[in-house]
Structure 1
Amino acid sequence: MTGILVVIPCLNEEAALPGLLRQQLAEPGDHSIVVADGGSTDSSRAIVAAVARDHPRLTLIDNPARLQAAGVNRAVAELGGDARWLVRIDAHCDYPEGYVRKLIDTAERQHATSVVVPMVSRGETCFQRAAATAQNSRLGTGGSPHRHVGTGAWVDHGHHALMDMTLFRQVGGYRETMSHNEDAELDLRLAAAGGRLWLEPRLALGYLPRRSAAQLWRQYLGYGRGRAQTLLLHRRRPKLRQTLPLAVPAAALVALLTPVHWLFAAPLLGWALLCLAGGIAIGARAGGGCAMLSGVPAMIMHLAWGLGFLARIARRRML
């Protein structure tokens, strides 16, 4: 396979890099692999440099802007050359064997300009297993197509995997002012330029959730801000599954009036009970144990996402 640029944005991924690089370098073909490092303070850079000495196809570049969007854009600008396809690989995910080859085959079979893939969360610690169960369910994702392994379909967004390099450059690549939701924002521009995005369920990847409640909170706060930024930029309205979490911060605000009357706590209490009960039911079907606590991370995701979204909207209106 020629004419393919594989880009791996990286920041402190020493645990994942050895296995990921070994897997990607074992793929057939002579395509280039670029790790765009955003200033890692662990051994990530040393790991890549050591592997690159034995594999000329692997290159390490600096990403001073640190954001994934900037790292991919920089790799394309410096090393994209005349590549036909761009493959984005995130260091903290697990990929099926033959991933790059199968992406190309799918794009050619479907006549797609982009191939996106579903994400299936898995956990190692108890909290991660609970978060993974929430993220694999409607409770945590509202039924987003790329968070569930379903059937192949044309979609407006999915986890980024393969993109037509010419179209990527034509629309200007990722928007580097976005730390979150840069993929969905780019998908809107790709579609407006005539792109066709195919969701391929057979290439679902494995994703490891954040290890703590605080990390998950910060992540989803950013997700909410990023989604709001995308909708503002493109003058779009949120979908129903994106609107529902916005009621949670409103319920929390109303609950501040509980000293006036206990009924003001009812909306927030009802939401919490639904999440906890739903998490128990979903977790029981997923094998029980820590999975039955999935309502807790789901609550964190809902509230953080809603607050992030509303904060970004409020900021725009105050400008």
Structure 2
Amino acid sequence: MNGPAQPDQAQLISVIAPCRNEHAHILAFCASVARQQLPAGWHMEVLIADGSSDDGTRELLERWCADHDTRFRWLDNPGRIVSTGLNLCIAAARGAVIARLDVHSEYATDYLAQCIAALAETGADNVGGPWRAQGASPMQRAVAAAFQSRWVAGGARSRDLEYEGEVDTVYLGCWPRATFERVGSFDEQLVRNQDDEHNLRIRRAGGRIWQSPRIRSTYQPRGRLAQVLRQYQQYGYWKPFVIAKHGQPAALRHLVPAAFVLALAGSALLLLGGMWWPLALLLAAYGALMLLALADMRAGLTPGMAARVVAVIAAYHLGYGWGSLRGWWDVWRGRAPARSFGALTR
């Protein structure tokens, strides 16, 4: 890791971003970052860690960095996962401030300026904006609608678009360099949830994490139901490893999906024995929850969109629940993480 920022780096912000096989998105991302309007006297460098892409992403990055904008550099990330890519970028970054961006998000032109302002105003160790999702295809719009629902997020403040204040974790993140010097970089054993684990370390070291709605970005969610299911299986699987590593009590919202999957499996077994009412009661309760979720987002919700939203919410709950049960099983047995949950896919 680099040492403390030198005087000529005091107003340099280092943008870091991991990517893999993003041929369709990488140039739009680079152009979005290039349009950032920084405060007077500030400038930026952009470090993109490519995880051995084989779809032409690397060639596009090479041309952009060489011919288009000398503020951009690409790094090779043979580990191919987010945490190794982030750490490579952090080690190479020169700025006094380090901001993580995601290739599948779009950013307000003052995104980085607002991050810098929030750090100065709050003295926080990490700042970010709310996690706002928006899709183009019908399925992406359904994923985005479910994503913002409190019935899916479990009340997580990172999905509250108006909330400003201290939070447990924040979308993406922007840090003073001193934060990494004090608590270290990202855990490279974690394919998912590496940001939650890092924020937990910040809080346990006495640091603060701050969310500001002035830091505006829009996330482009996955466009197929199978991708959503796979994504949330991984989120669920890796959460127990974070909890076990730090002896952290699990929040209720992390346990409910696993309890639902267990109850569903138990009810199905009882059905095989001729006892139908537990499954009927469980499905009725879940149907009521779906109706409440749809009522929250009723504006402009067509029947076709409503059906997609129901499918997406079920994928969230079942994927996260099954994944967390697998994760707890491996943690309880003291096993290394399963290889089947180790490949980060879009």
User: Structure 1 length normalisation: TM-score?
Assistant: 0.93
Mark the CA change 1:291 to 1:203 in structure 2 (over 3 Å): closer, same or farther.
farther
- 3-state secondary structure, aligned to 2:98: strand
User: Paired residue for 1:57, among 40, 54, 71?
Assistant: 71
User: Structure 2 length normalisation: TM-score?
Assistant: 0.87
Q: CA deviation at 1:3?
A: 2.8
Q: Give the counterpart letter for 1:98 in structure 2.
A: D
- 3-state secondary structure, aligned to 1:120: coil
Distance 1:227 1:233 in 2: 10
- Does residue 322 of structure 2 align to residue 307 of structure 1? yes
Please list, as runs of the form range in 1=range in 2, the aligned pairs for 1:30-109 lying within 5 A after superposition.
30-53=43-66, 54-77=68-91, 79-81=92-94, 83-109=95-121
Q: CA deviation at 1:288?
A: 3.3
- Does residue 301 of structure 2 align to residue 292 of structure 1? no
Distance 1:129 1:272 in 2: 22
Please list, as runs of the form range in 1=range in 2, the aligned pairs for 1:150-165 lying within 5 A after superposition.
150-165=162-177
Instruction: Out of 8-17 and 25-34, give the one that drifted further.
Output: 25-34
- Does residue 207 of structure 2 align to residue 195 of structure 1? yes
Distance 1:166 1:44 in 2: 32
Distance 2:100 2:281 in 1: 42
Alignment RMSD (CA, Å): 1.7
Partner of 2:17: 8
- 3-state secondary structure, aligned to 1:297: helix
On the 8 A contact 1:3/1:85 being kept in 2, the answer is yes
Distance 1:310 1:191 in 2: 27
- 3-state secondary structure, aligned to 2:63: helix
On the 8 A contact 1:281/1:292 being kept in 2, the answer is no
Q: Give the counterpart letter for 1:306 in structure 2.
A: G
On the 8 A contact 2:239/2:327 being kept in 1, the answer is no
Distance 1:197 1:116 in 2: 8
Q: CA deviation at 1:48?
A: 1.5
- 3-state secondary structure, aligned to 1:159: coil
Q: Give the counterpart letter for 1:314 in structure 2.
A: W
Distance 2:205 2:297 in 1: 42
User: Paired residue for 2:133, among 121, 127, 140?
Assistant: 121
Unmatched 5+ residue regions in structure 2?
Answer: 1-9, 335-346
Unmatched 5+ residue regions in structure 1?
Answer: none
On the 8 A contact 1:275/1:299 being kept in 2, the answer is no
Question: Residues 44-102 of structure 1: CA distance to partner in whole angstroms, max 9, x if unpaired?
Answer: 2122111112322110111010111110101121x224x21110001011111121121
Q: Give the counterpart letter for 2:51 in structure 1.
A: G
Q: CA deviation at 1:301?
A: 0.6
User: Paired residue for 1:179, among 182, 187, 191?
Assistant: 191
On the 8 A contact 2:135/2:221 being kept in 1, the answer is yes
Q: CA deviation at 1:308?
A: 1.1
User: Paired residue for 1:224, among 236, 239, 244?
Assistant: 236
Partner of 1:18: 27
